[in-house]
Structure 1
């Protein structure tokens, strides 16, 4: 009985692992990094592929943008402001972030950061839907319960193809998949259905995998061997309807002072798929 209780506790804490990875993972980053560095939208009407991040408060949306920038610049950055103790969204405005490729140019993709979803406050679902269509301008400060209107200064009445969102990414902490409220799930599901109607591809990243699983905390290379994290991917897939091959596990840069190739790997794979899916969407329009 005591052994059974120990095994159950160990499994609940993410200790159990598969004998073989449940997803193949290349741990050499050169190919993915070269792909991202050489990427350029094929459609001449699109200067930048636009990736919109959404999800609950504290999911790690801003941290993921910082992590991508850290990987591409080769040093840990913190340009996007984050907060570790607030119970409400630290991001207050609809912001767009570009990453320097060299001193005089940027990578041809943009991340749009949004206020997090909360049960009763946070980002308005209808504002996210408008953002998907390109109607929300940068700097817009959402007011919970108040939808952006056509008469508002921040409303873009004639969005170009470049203004539209080309890939939608839901961000969720791996350790909170089973604890997220029904209200927040409904909001994320509403956004997903709206994006589906527009034909916008959708992906998801589960963050904080090291906090969710001790084996991964010890070694990030165990991320796709963890039974616990596989269960979280399964549950999240059923929760939102996002296929499992569109859900990625990442650890954001948070306590590290230098970049690490093992942390970079999952981030680069997720970013590459965002670009690939977004590029397919642009070319299909």
Structure 2
């Protein structure tokens, strides 16, 4: 059983390390969004940590949920070890989907089509206008989003407001209209289920987690086979094999979906 797990982990890591879009210079843009406190920044840090084999902090993360920590549109690149090159995929982490002070759905739509420039500070009161210096009038394929990832805190799923769920669905519908593939990442799974807290290997046997995944799938329309449970690194000082496996599995699927979209939409 352990050999099978190690084999899957090695296979996912090899796929990620060897991934290269078929067009030279093309990069795969992954947009992360979710409710305030979902762990979007922590997921970026966890991915970098697993790929580098040590704890890393690329995106600043907040341990509280009092308002949104990420407010600026920022692109995160991960450098390959012992190399001056970067992985050909990048992450964008946007302001949380708080129903009162979160990012506007209209701004997320602009990000999809590459109209939001690096460094734009999201304003929950008004959307980015064409006259703003952070409005990109001539976006390239590299500026556009190629896969949308909804990061969902499994432990507080049932307390998520109807307005936040509707925001998630509205954004998903716009992504669907543009043909952008969408997946969901379930974070904080150990807080949602005592079985997983005891042993993360119980993740696919947990009825508690399965119930929450099904509820979310029914509410927003993301299929069950596009929802991936992970345990982000936040308090640990060393990597753990079982957590690595979940993160690598999720990332390899995200890259695969995004690459399919690039080839189909742009021939890249």
Query: What's the TM-score, normalizing by structure 2?
Result: 0.95
Separation in structure 1 between the aligned mates of residue 104 and residue 115 of structure 2, nearest angstrom: 14
In structure 1, the partner of 2:66 is: 87
| 1:74-223 alignment runs, 5 A limit | 74-102=53-81, 103-223=83-203
Separation in structure 1 between the aligned mates of residue 144 and residue 28 of structure 2, nearest angstrom: 9
In structure 2, the partner of 1:13 is: none
Aligned equivalent of 1:32, options 3, 7, 12: 12
Separation in structure 1 between the aligned mates of residue 257 and residue 65 of structure 2, nearest angstrom: 33
For the pair shown, which has the larger CA radius of gyration, 1 or 2?
1
Separation in structure 2 between the aligned mates of residue 100 and residue 74 of structure 1, nearest angstrom: 12
Judge conservation of contact 2:58–2:76 (CA < 8 Å) in 1.
no
**Residues 74-125 of structure 1: per-residue CA shift (max 9 Å, x gap):** 0111221111124111011011100011330110000001110112111111
RMSD of aligned alpha carbons: 1.1
| 1:14-93 alignment runs, 5 A limit | 26-28=5-7, 29-44=9-24, 47-93=26-72
**Residues 38-95 of structure 1: per-residue CA shift (max 9 Å, x gap):** 0001134x52100000110000000000000000000111221111124111011011
Judge conservation of contact 1:27–1:262 (CA < 8 Å) in 2.
no
Q: Aligned to 2:159, what secondary structure does the other structure show?
A: coil
Number of aligned residues: 260
Separation in structure 2 between the aligned mates of residue 188 and residue 163 of structure 1, nearest angstrom: 22
Structure 1 runs of 4+ with >6 Å offset: none
Structure number with higher helix proportion: 2
Q: How far off is 1:27 after superposition?
A: 4.8
Greater RCO structure (CA 8 Å; 6+ sep): 1
Q: Which runs of 5+ in 1 are unaligned?
A: 1-24
Judge conservation of contact 1:43–1:283 (CA < 8 Å) in 2.
no
Query: What's the TM-score, normalizing by structure 1?
Result: 0.89
